[in-house]
Amino acid sequence: MLRLLTSAVRYFSTRAAVADSSRRTTLHATVMLISLTLLSTDVATASSKSTDLYKLYAHLKIVSADQYKCVETLWTYESNWNPLAKNKKSSAFGIPQILKMVTKDPFEQIDLGLKYITARHGTACNALAYFKSRGHY
């Protein structure tokens, strides 16, 4: 399912003929439709569907497929995309495992995590390389 979603994101984000604001509106509408599709009463799959939604949101923020794959790998290592993940050895919390994170909103966590990556490492792939060499980012 996620592969289809990321293909849709790449399709809509690379349409050169569509203006930026129109593209954003189309992407947001697409996310809303996909969100409704992912919603389910099945508790056993609710967690994986939420994770897919968080990944889709991150992919919308990171249009580059290569950079998205790096952040997807990094945050899978860090928290397995769990917005309530806590680090036992520090105050790191949430999907991006940022120190002293206070928000429990997964979408705010993703926004803050991406802002942190950009400020500290420039790109998600740089952050992943740093993580692989040092065990943190």
Tens digit of pLDDT at every position of the chain (137 positions) = 455 555 555 554 554 444 455 555 556 556 655 655 555 444 445 578 899 999 999 999 998 999 999 999 999 999 999 999 999 999 999 999 999 999 999 999 999 999 999 999 999 999 999 999 999 99
Token pair of 60, please?
């919308």
- Rounded Cα–Cα distance for residues 62 and 13 (Å): 10
Say if CB 121 and CB 96 are below 8 A apart: no
Largest CA distance in the chain: 49
Output the pTM of the full model: 0.70
